[in-house]
A and B are shown apart, each in its own frame.
Chain A
Amino acid sequence: MSKVSSPDLDAKIPQGSMAEKWDNHKFASKLVNPANKRKFEIIVVGTGLAGASAGATLAELGYKVKAYCFQDSPRRAHSIAAQGGINAAKNYKNDGDSVKRLFYDTVKGGDFRSREANVHRLAQESNNVIDQCVAQGVPFAREYGGLLDNRSFGGAQVSRTFYARGQTGQQLLLGAYQALAHQVALGNVEMFPRTEMLDIVTKDNRAVGIVTRDLVTGDIQSHSAHAVVLATGGYANAFYLSTNAMGSNVTATWRAHKKGAYMANPCYTQIHPTCIPASDDFQSKLTLMSESLRNDGRIWVPISKDETRAAADIPEDERDYYLERKYPAFGNLVPRDIASRNAKTVVDEGRGVGPLKNGVYLDFSDAINRLGQSVIEERYGNLFEMYERITGENPYEVPMRIYPALHYTMGGTWVDYNLMSTVDGLFVLGEANFSDHGANRLGASALMQGLADGYFVLPNTIGNYLAPLLGEKIVPTDAPEFVEAENAIHDQIDKLISIGGTRSPDDFHRELGKILWDNCGMERSKESLEKALEEIPKLRDEFYKDLRILGSDDEFNQTLEKAGRVADFLEFGELMVRDALHREESCGGHFRVESQTPEGEALRDDENFAYVAAWEYTGDLTKPKLHKEYLEFEEVHLAQRSYK
């Protein structure tokens, strides 16, 4: 079934058996000798898990690193908010786990839309990641004997998830941030907080630097280097409401896209089933409630859409435990996408609960009766507290209300096995790239990927690119390429400020989010996607006619920051919809209404769509060029998922 991939997309998958590829690659890679590393300068944009771990490790190796983030400190990156945990194939529980099993689970979980060789490497490096984090002092949960504790997460059949209370992302990020801070103190890393990258600069299709805006003073500045690394996170905020941090955005990778970096599978987005529903139009973000709640909570809605009674007053036989009814084997523990889609179905039927009828119940009363309140408190106490803080309702007494929300984005910049994009010398790590999760990410695997990329993959692959450049000077920042890029940024900012319209960037963002959520969210159809393709360009035109930004560009101006990000979402959103429209199959988080089994489950089309869709920017947003990287499955045999 082998088909020929686009010549632009050489994935550079190493030779050898799956288990040997990574070793073979490292052995075949060029090395930069220790004394020469300090002659290379590397820019790392983004200091979340992926960027901070990469920046610290590159500096430890001897490279000269410049690192950038838009928050006031690297410690505040969006990674800080991850709760549940991080996977590794340690098999500490002796329950049959292995590198091979983690690899299998990840390829299958990704619904056969990821590159096997990358996933296998990720599974291999997962164990080193845990060792590294523990050595740094990450206070993972322990058992009484002093050993590390593990739990099963997101429906996995083995216990391979390491965690630090409900704050795993925080502790992992602090570990990476501290390693980075150490390198800052040693003078090996120069850190630029409150600095936003607004463009990458290329020369002869090679990344040679970036242009940034100092968010406090507004200064536009050029920075030059031998290679540029983007670790700028995911684009879930295209949907306005998501579980991502307020500042998460697509600007860095989108602007790189416009300079030649292909964008892969932008339609692969993950919707998390257990978030707190929105309470009004001013809702600024959605809060995730850990998935572990589904272990003991039962999900239901009333059978009648005219139901008005309080939850406790609705008798058993007037409740619909729809997941238990439709999926008796897995019940409330079906995968994220299935749980989400079913919640949408019942809410769309008018059977939603809560004042806005926009949620479903997650009910703990059975578990409390069976196990006692103290057990539930021990398991979920902090989550119950958080829920009560946000909603004002006590979940020990009334069922929680939950609804799905945008959570994670599997798509991103296309990269080869070295994590290099289609622009030479431009590397992309973490959630920003497309590489390891296919069409759906398993719980606790994003943290693993970000840290594997940063601590172990990039530091080993970047040498291949740099070694032949030994002796080459970085391009001076007064070279025409930089001057041109700076001028373009000044022009763009002036253009935004001078519109002088009436609507705030948030107002446009909310509207874009609604278009995407309604038409390119949990379910997508040809019709809905075509509708979005009509609405988005209109909204974009409106944006450039009616945007209002007050103040100037040479000061701390948060409206201007947002406007720039929204401008990029308005362009990127269109590509996402085009990608979703072209992929006439359902897979992972991408559910096309036209492609489902008689039982209403996602139906993949391997014959026609077993490829990565990588889009090239052509200058015309209506005509991006599609390139295909065909996926080969040597180890894990293509099979349809079933959770019946």
Chain B
Amino acid sequence: MHVTLNVWRQSSNKVDGHFETYEVADINEDMSFLELFDVLNERLLDKEQDPVAFDSDCREGICGMCSMMINGQAHGPETGTATCQLHMRKFNDGDVITVEPFRATSFPIIKDLAVDRSAFDRIVESGGFVDAPTGTAGDANLTLIPKAVADKAMDAAQCIGCGACVAACPNGAANLFTSAKLMHMNLLPQGQPQRFDRAINMVETMDAYFGSCTNHGECQAACPKEISIDFIALMNKDYAKAQLKNRATASQK
């Protein structure tokens, strides 16, 4: 196969970036999209040109490190797939492919296609945990958790924190990411004691870093784990309840 790549090049966030065009010939359709970039980089290095910086680690769609806008779509055209699991057979010989970093003001560019997503860590630090210091736990089977609850919490918990939801959102909102983490905790019995404070803290931290959600739904379409925007609705409910809830009566139905 042969493809033409228009790739965003920007040596740091202190300078302006631009597109650079590369012809990449003789590639194999079984390659992943990141392997295409490995090949491009080897060839650039051969020509003494600076390789394209991009993030990746597990290459199995689970670490959330890779982050490319491919033809305007976060992680490219295949649904439910991170860039590392997108293969060249999904493209045609002769295609022109535009590749940019995940764009959002809250994700400053480090170099080329690599961005800084540490604002996500700030959201988790503000409340995305159960306060259960090591050694304090009772027997794991002491608290029964209905299967449906555990499954739903797992649906939320599978978020890989890649930031595709933010990159896809016209407002650069992080509501899908935040609600996935919040509802993972808030659906489970273990999460109940801190449920309402968690909702307030995480939502407010999110608002401090990211844009606002206006229900476009682009996030759900871009999510490589196909996390549902229902979690955003659940988050909004918990946040609203949290404003009024008397914490001292929280354990009453």
Contact = CB atoms under 8 A, between A and B. Distances in A.
Interface of A: 53, 56-57, 60, 71-73, 75-78, 80-81, 90, 92, 128, 130-137, 139-148, 164-165, 167, 170-171, 174, 177-179, 181-182, 184-185, 191, 193, 216, 245-247, 279-280, 282-285, 287-288, 386, 389-392, 455-456, 459, 502, 504, 506-507, 548, 550-551, 555-556, 558-559
A109 B133 CA distance: 33
B56 interface: yes
A366 to B, nearest CB: 28
A554 to B, nearest CB: 11
A559 B138 CA distance: 48
Contact of B137 (A135, A145, A507): A135
Interface of B: 11-12, 28-32, 34-35, 38-39, 41-42, 45-46, 48-51, 53, 55-65, 78, 81, 85, 87, 89, 110-111, 114, 116-118, 120-121, 124-126, 128-141, 143-147, 150-151, 153-154, 157-158, 160-161, 184-185, 188, 190-191
B158 A556 contact: no
Given A135-B130, A137-B132, A246-B56, 8 more contacts: A53-B134, A76-B63, A131-B139, A132-B135, A141-B150, A279-B30, A288-B60, A558-B53
A179 to B, nearest CB: 6
Given A135-B130, A280-B30, A556-B53, A504 B62 contact: no
Contacts of A131: 137-140
B94 to A, nearest CB: 19
A555 B130 contact: no
B51 A182 contact: no
Given A247-B57, A556-B53, A556-B114, A142 B145 contact: yes
B144 A146 contact: yes
Contacts of B135: 128, 132, 455-456
A136 B130 contact: yes
Contacts of B121: 73, 75, 181, 184, 191, 193
A179 B133 CA distance: 8
B129 A81 contact: no
Nearest to A144: B147
B42 A507 contact: yes
B134 A245 contact: no
Contact of B45 (A132, A170, A184, A548): A548
A291 to B, nearest CB: 16
A236 to B, nearest CB: 13
Nearest to A164: B154
- Which secondary structure dominates where chain B touches chain A? loop
B138 A135 contact: yes
22 contacts: A56-B134, A73-B117, A73-B120, A75-B161, A78-B57, A80-B62, A128-B137, A131-B139, A132-B132, A132-B137, A134-B140, A139-B153, A164-B154, A182-B125, A216-B110, A245-B63, A279-B28, A282-B28, A282-B35, A282-B38, A285-B59, A502-B46
A81 B51 contact: no
A61 B86 CA distance: 44
Contacts, number: 216
A550 B48 contact: yes
A137 B129 CA distance: 8
Contacts of A548: 45, 48
Contacts of A165: 154, 158
B116 A72 contact: yes
A165 B60 CA distance: 15
A441 B111 CA distance: 40
A76 B64 contact: yes
Given A134-B190, A144-B147, A170-B158, A81 B138 contact: no
Given A141-B150, A181-B121, A555-B11, A284 B42 contact: no
Nearest to A279: B30
B158 A504 contact: no
B4 to A, nearest CB: 19
Contacts of B39: 282
Contact of A90 (B140, B150, B160, B191): B140
B184 A139 contact: yes
A555 B12 contact: yes
A73 B146 CA distance: 32
A620 B47 CA distance: 36
Nearest to B86: A389
A81 B60 contact: yes
Contacts of A128: 135, 137
A540 B39 CA distance: 23
A497 B246 CA distance: 62
Contact of A245 (B34, B41, B59, B110): B59
B132 to A, nearest CB: 4
A128 B135 CA distance: 8
Contact of B38 (A130, A284, A556): A284
A459 B134 contact: yes
A133 B143 CA distance: 13
A16 B35 CA distance: 55
